Chain A
């Protein structure tokens, strides 16, 4: 059964407090090479077999309607 792997992340201009906090922690732990951290969501979805283009269109719709909030988030996905 194919799986959709969906990544929902904050848009570039949006300040993301979780990532900032994790970055500060990593800095304190001595990881000086970490320049920025952004935390997002990973969603894995099992989908029924079928026309790949149709499935892609449907996942776009699912992301636009529910999984991502276009005011603050963007998304990418792949089907495996």
Chain B
């Protein structure tokens, strides 16, 4: 299948990584992408919906708490339940997916209460997913984070379920892929940086793959995630 894959990047008031995502998909990956305003209800024609980073609705109340009630979000559940449809939520997009209950858990303030903007190392926990099939299991990716509330929290029961069902995509690690307390920059439960739903067609992650696309940005490891997804869709 040589047809270009169609990405829709949702724009909420306060999204600020929407243009970066569009650039990464169109200019670097050479696929189709367009913005979708949060009041739109027409998302069924896209292959992939991207919930970008930013500060939707000023992060008021809780990050993502208000965006999850946007009109476009009413259609997301239907979209996710369809075949060959994918959703990736990055940073604020991940927070929105959690608030919407599409992924389990919630976000707390970073353990040091600081907004952290830096490159981190992520170990690929599960490479048998539409979003990670171009990675090796245990591969370490260098991708930046930029958030104040990325301290992932879930109860033990949920964590056990995530582990049992292979729903953990990425964990904060050292450069060598070791899981340590020090590498866990924001204090997340189990060093969790990204998780999937049971069906594995929804990924939520705090690091920004769209910011690690060309050498000039310091890393191209973000491409593994987008290219895995493109690879998966083209094969299916």
Task: Spell out A's residues near B (CB within 8 Å).
Answer: 13-18, 21, 66-67, 69, 71-72
Q: Which residues of A lie under 8 Å from residue B62 when comparing CB positions?
A: 69
Central interface residue in B66, B109, B110, B151, by most chain A CB within 10 Å: B109
**Cβ-defined partner of A14 (8 Å) among B65, B66, B108, B111:** B108
State whether B111 touches A71 (Cβ < 8 A).
Answer: no
> Which residue of chain B has its CB nearest to the CB of A41?
B61
> Which residue of chain B has its CB nearest to the CB of A71?
B106
> Which residue of chain A has its CB nearest to the CB of B65?
A66
Please tell me the size bucket of the interface on B: 20 to 34
Q: Which residues of B lie under 8 Å from residue A14 when comparing CB positions?
A: 108, 153
State whether A66 touches B113 (Cβ < 8 A).
Answer: no
Does residue B69 face the partner (Cβ distance < 8 Å to A)? yes
> Which residue of chain B has its CB nearest to the CB of A43?
B61
State whether A71 touches B61 (Cβ < 8 A).
Answer: no
Interface string of B82-115 (1 = CB under 8 A from A): 0000000000000000110000111011111100
Docked CA distance A15–B187 (Å): 10
Does residue B215 face the partner (Cβ distance < 8 Å to A)? no
> Which residue of chain A has its CB nearest to the CB of B114?
A17
Give the Cβ gap from A73 to chain B, nearest Cβ, in Å. Answer: 8
Does residue B216 face the partner (Cβ distance < 8 Å to A)? no
Give the Cβ gap from B125 to chain A, nearest Cβ, in Å. Answer: 21
Q: Which residues of B lie under 8 Å from residue A71 when comparing CB positions?
A: 98, 104-106, 153-155
State whether A21 touches B106 (Cβ < 8 A).
Answer: no
Give the Cβ gap from B65 to chain A, nearest Cβ, in Å. Answer: 7
> Which residue of chain B has its CB nearest to the CB of A17?
B109
State whether A17 touches B108 (Cβ < 8 A).
Answer: yes
Q: Which residues of A lie under 8 Å from residue B66 when comparing CB positions?
A: 66
